[in-house]
């Protein structure tokens, strides 16, 4: 695909993963080419992951669109973006939650945090932070969150400490092995889980 328009048309009409109008607006506003390494600029609109260094990737567009559809962030939401990497998902989320919302992107690789911050600085968002969390899972300091997005795969289950950071009524979308899970926390604290198999992610570290 040669342009952002081609990619959006493919996501909307070819794969039909781009249904939500707010997510479509975010894809139109946020250019994936602003978040890839210079040597991959010519491939920015292709529907596959691209390396960003340190064993990490910028995710496949269909996967990101699908996960955002499941997450369904709303204006004013407080969102945790675990594994912010290139900053692309943080930018998409920042666009979607608007000036009244807040996005906290986390990573553990200082160079990727700097890469993400540099990429995000191309936009005029003032509703996000990118934080090095070290060995912490999630970011307890600003919990609870309305939405949590995880971009790397857990080996067994979504960790309890991450689920505890989700507010009542909130949704977490996270990969476990080769499936994407959508988990909603009900008002009584119980969890509703739904599994969507058939994906591939870098492992959570």
At 2 the pLDDT is 80
Domain that holds residue 22: 4-197
Judge whether 164 lies within some domain.
yes
Judge whether 110 lies within some domain.
yes
Judge whether 202 lies within some domain.
no
Judge whether 56 lies within some domain.
yes
What is the C-alpha separation between 91 and 124, in angstroms, rounded?
A: 10
Judge whether 51 lies within some domain.
yes
Judge whether 203 lies within some domain.
no
What is the C-alpha separation between 63 and 88, in angstroms, rounded?
A: 13
Nearest CA to 12 among 59, 66, 50? 66
Residues pairing with 29 in the sheet: none
At 15 the pLDDT is 83
Residues pairing with 79 in the sheet: 103, 147
Q: Catalytic residue positions?
A: 59
What is the C-alpha separation between 99 and 63, in angstroms, rounded?
A: 26
Where residue 14 sits, what CATH number does that domain have?
3.40.50.150
Judge whether 205 lies within some domain.
no
What is the C-alpha separation between 189 and 168, in angstroms, rounded?
A: 7
Judge whether 204 lies within some domain.
no
As a three-state string, the secondary structure of 66-106 is HHHHHHCCCCCCEEEEECCCCCHHHHHHHHHHCCCCEEEEE
At 205 the pLDDT is 66
Domains in the chain, number? 1
Mind listing the pLDDT tens digit of every residue in the chain (205 residues)?
788 899 999 998 888 888 899 999 999 999 999 999 999 999 999 999 999 999 899 999 999 999 999 999 999 999 999 999 999 999 999 999 999 999 999 999 999 999 999 999 999 999 999 999 998 999 999 999 999 999 988 998 999 999 999 999 999 999 999 899 999 999 898 999 999 998 878 777 6
């Amino acid at each position: 695909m040669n342009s952002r328009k081609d990619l959006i048309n493919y996501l909307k009409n070819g794969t039909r993963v781009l249904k939500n109008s707010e997510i479509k607006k975010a894809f139109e506003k946020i250019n994936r080419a602003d978040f890839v390494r210079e040597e991959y600029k010519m491939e920015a609109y292709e529907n596959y992951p691209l390396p960003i260094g340190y064993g990490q990737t910028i995710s496949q567009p269909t996967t990101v669109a699908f996960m955002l559809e499941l997450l369904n962030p709303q204006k004013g939401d407080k969102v945790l973006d675990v594994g912010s990497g290139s900053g692309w998902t943080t930018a998409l989320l920042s666009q979607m939650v608007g000036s009244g919302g807040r996005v906290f992107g986390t990573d553990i690789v200082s160079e990727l945090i700097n890469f993400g911050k540099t990429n995000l600085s191309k936009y005029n968002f003032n509703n996000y932070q990118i934080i090095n969390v070290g060995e912490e899972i999630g970011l307890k300091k600003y919990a609870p969150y309305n939405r949590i997005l995880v971009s790397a795969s857990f080996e067994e289950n979504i960790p309890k400490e991450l689920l505890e950071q989700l507010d009542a009524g909130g949704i977490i979308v996270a990969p476990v092995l080769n499936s994407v899970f959508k988990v909603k926390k009900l008002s009584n604290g119980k969890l509703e889980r739904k599994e969507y198999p058939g994906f591939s992610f870098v492992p959570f570290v």
